[in-house]
A and B are shown apart, each in its own frame.
Chain A
Amino acid sequence: METRNSIRPPGPVVIDIENITKEYVMGEEVVRALRGVSLQIRRNEYLAIMGPSGSGKSTLMNMLGCLDTPSAGRYEFNGKNVAEMDDDELAAVRNREIGFVFQTFNLLPRSTSLRNVELPLIYAGINPDRRVERAAQVLADVGLGDRIHHKPNELSGGQRQRVAIARALVNGPSIILADEPTGNLDSKTGEEIMELFENLYQHGNTIILVTHERDIAAHARRTVHLRDGLIEMDHVGFIAELDMPLAR
C-alpha cells in the first residue's frame, strides 16, 4: 500500500491558465461562469476539480478540454496558446493531447469496442493495421482483451467505462479528463474504475477528475475547489488530510 498512497513527483507544466473568464449570454442575462481562474497543472499530477453545481466546474472542464475557449485570459497547453485557436486546431489538440472520459461513457452504440477505441486513431490519420494493433493493445491494458469484438450493449457499465478509458488513452494524451467517471456506476464498479485511474497515475499519466463526490475526489493527490466561478481552495495532497468539511 506504500505505492498506492504515494505522491509522484510532478513533471513540467502541461496546463497554464491565467485569469481566465467565461461569460455566456442566456436570454437577456449575462452569466459569468468563470470570473478569473488561474491554475497550473503539471505532468503526472492527479487532480480533482470539485464544486457545487453552478460553481463553474463544467465550464472550467470544457476550457481545460479545449472544447471551448475563454472570453478573456491566457491558456497555454504545452506552451501553445489555446485561447486563440480555431475549431480545427482545437480539434487537433483534443485528438492528440486530451483523453476524455464521460459520465455517460459516450460510446458509439453500433460499433464494437475495438472500433470505438480506433476512432481517435482514425482522426489522427494512423494507418489501419497500426490502428487495430494499438486499439487491441490498449483494450488489453484496461483488462478487456477478451471483449474487443463486443458492442457496448453486450458489456456491463464498468466494462463500457473501461472501453471509454481505453479510447481516452489510445493516442497517448498529455492529460486524461474524466467528468464524473463513476456517476453512472454502482459503488463497487466505481471503485474498480478508480483503481484503474490509480494504476494509470502510477504509470505516469496525468489525470484530472471533475466530480462533486468527496469519495471520488479522495483518490486525487490535489483538489481544486470552485465556488461562484472562482477557485475557493487549491489543496496539494490527499483531501482526507483536511479537517475542514467542504461545502457541497
Chain B
Amino acid sequence: MKRFLYELGESWKIAAAQMRSNLTRSTLTALGVIIGIIAVTLMGTAVNGISIGFDKSMAVLGDDVLYVTQWPWKPVDDWWNYRDRKKIKTEYAETLNRMIAATPNSNLVVAVPTSNFMRSIKYGGNQVNNVFVLGTTSDFIITSTIDCTAGRFFNELESRDGANVVVIGYDVADALFPSENPIDKSVLINGQLFKVIGVNTRQGTFLGLFSWDSMVAMPLGAFNKYFSAKSESDVRVKVKDKTRLADAKDELIGLMRRVRGLPPEKKDDFSINEQQAFKSTLDPVKNSIAIAGLFITGLSLFVGAIGIMNITFVSVKERTKEIGTRKALGARRRTILLQFLIESTALCLLGGFIGLVLAFLMCFLIGKAAPSFPIHFSLGLVMASVIVSAMTGLVSGFAPAWSASRLDPVAALRYE
C-alpha cells in the first residue's frame, strides 16, 4: 500500500515534468479537452436552466391547486368530445364555495374564479400589447404564489364592488413606468381607466410559458363589465393538504357534477387539472433537449479524448527506452500503467479545470448580457465536469498505458 502511494507520488511528479517539458504539445492536447468541457458544461448549465425555468413556471400554477376547465391540460385525440362541452362559468366558484363550507372535513379550501383576455395597456405615450388581463376575486392570492413588490393586491371590498383597480406584472410596470412609481397612476385598458394599486415581484420569464411578469389582474366585477364578451374562464380550487390531492380531486369532481346537475350515467363534462399533468407533458420535452444537447456536446469532448489518447501513444513510443530502463530498475507493469494513466488523467483534469473556469466566465457574461437566457451553474455541475474529465483521461489513456506496461524490457531497452 505504501509502495503504491510512493509510486503514485512519483507518477504525479513525472506527469508534471512531462507536461512542462512538452508545453506546446500538452497545451494543444489539453485544448481539445478544454473545448469539450466548455461545450458540455455550458450545455449542462442550459439544461439546468431549462429545468429550473420549467419548475418555476410550474410553481406559478401551484402544486396544491386544482383547475376546473373545459379542456384538459394534456393533448387529446378526440377533441370533438370536448369542443361541445359547456363553458366553465365564473359563478361556479361561488356555488362551490358554498358547498365546501357545507361539507364537514372538506379537502378543499376555497374556489376562485378567473377570466382572462389579451389586451393592450397604455400609460401616457407608453403602450404594451398582448397583456394577459385576468379578472378574479381577492381570494386569488390564496391560490397563488403572487407577491407584491410595491403596493398591494386588491382587497375583498374592491373585489366585491368591481372597482377599477389593477395589480400589474413587473415587466408591464417596467414598460409603462420606466422612471416613475406606478402606484396610484391610472392606466388605460380598452378605453377604461384603472388605478394601479400594486406591482408584482419579478418572476422571470421562460420560453414564453406562464409568468406573472406580463400580466394584469383586476377584480372580476370590473373585468366582466368591460371584457366579458369573449373571455375564457376557469375556476381554481385550493386544496387543504397537497399529499391528499387525489382525494381532493375526487371530492371536487363530485361537487362539479352537482353544480352541473349530471345524472350518474353521464360522463364528466369538465376537466380537473393539476400542475402534474403539465409536468408529465413537458418532462419528456425537457429530457429530450437534455439528452440531445449533451450527446452533441459530448461529441466534442470525445474528440478531445481521442487527442489525449493519440498523444499518450506518442509519449509511450518516444519513451520506450525509458520504460525499458524503468523496468530494468524494478518497475512493475502496474507502475508503468499507473504512470501513463496519471499522465493522461492529469492532462485531462488540467484541461477540464481550465474549461470549467472559462465556462463559468462565459456563463457569467451570458447572464449579464441576456438575463432571460436560461443558464444555471451549480456545484453538481462542477463536480460532474471534474469527474467527466478525470474519466476521459482514464479511458483515453488506458490503451496506450496498457501497451506501455506490456512492453518487453529487453526490446524496450534496445529501442532507439
Contacts and interface: CB of A to CB of B under 8 A. Distances in A.
Interface string B330-366: 1111110000000000000000000000000000000
B332 A125 contact: no
B175 interface: no
B91 interface: no
Shortest 10 CB-CB contacts between residues of A and residues of B: A95-B330, A125-B3, A123-B330, A106-B325, A91-B332, A88-B332, A67-B409, A120-B329, A100-B328, A122-B10
Contact of B6 (A88, A102, A108, A128): A128
Contact of B331 (A91, A110, A171): A91
A88 B330 contact: no
Interface residues of A, number: 28
Interface string A80-121: 000000011001101110001010001010110000000110
B410 interface: yes
A124 interface: yes
B321 interface: yes
Interface in B1-43: 2-3, 6-7, 9-10, 17, 21
A119 B329 contact: yes
A62 interface: yes
A228 interface: no
Nearest to A62: B410
A106 B327 contact: no
B176 interface: no
Contact of B7 (A110, A120, A122): A122
Interface of A: 62, 65, 67-68, 87-88, 91-92, 94-96, 100, 102, 106, 108, 110-111, 119-120, 122-128, 167, 171
Given A94-B329, A106-B321, A127 B335 contact: no
Contacts of B21: 110
Contact of B328 (A94, A96, A108, A125): A94
A95 B6 contact: no
Nearest to A90: B409
Contact of B410 (A68, A100, A126): A68
B327 to A, nearest CB: 7
Chain B facing A: main interface SS: helix
Contacts of A95: 329-330
Contacts of A87: 332-333
A110 B2 CA distance: 25
A238 to B, nearest CB: 30
Interface of B: 2-3, 6-7, 9-10, 17, 21, 321-322, 324-335, 408-410, 413
Nearest to B7: A122
B322 A108 contact: yes
Nearest to B331: A123
A122 B334 CA distance: 14
Contacts of B335: 123
Given A87-B332, A124-B3, A128-B9, 10 more contacts: A68-B408, A91-B333, A92-B332, A94-B328, A100-B328, A111-B17, A119-B10, A123-B7, A123-B326, A123-B329
Contact of B330 (A91, A108, A110): A91
A94 B330 contact: yes
A95 B330 CA distance: 4
B171 to A, nearest CB: 62
B2 A127 contact: yes
Contacts of B334: 88
Contacts of A62: 410
A94 B330 CA distance: 5
Given A62-B410, A67-B410, A110-B21, A88 B329 contact: no
A125 B333 contact: no
B326 A119 contact: yes
A108 B7 CA distance: 16
Nearest to B13: A115
Contacts of B10: 119, 122
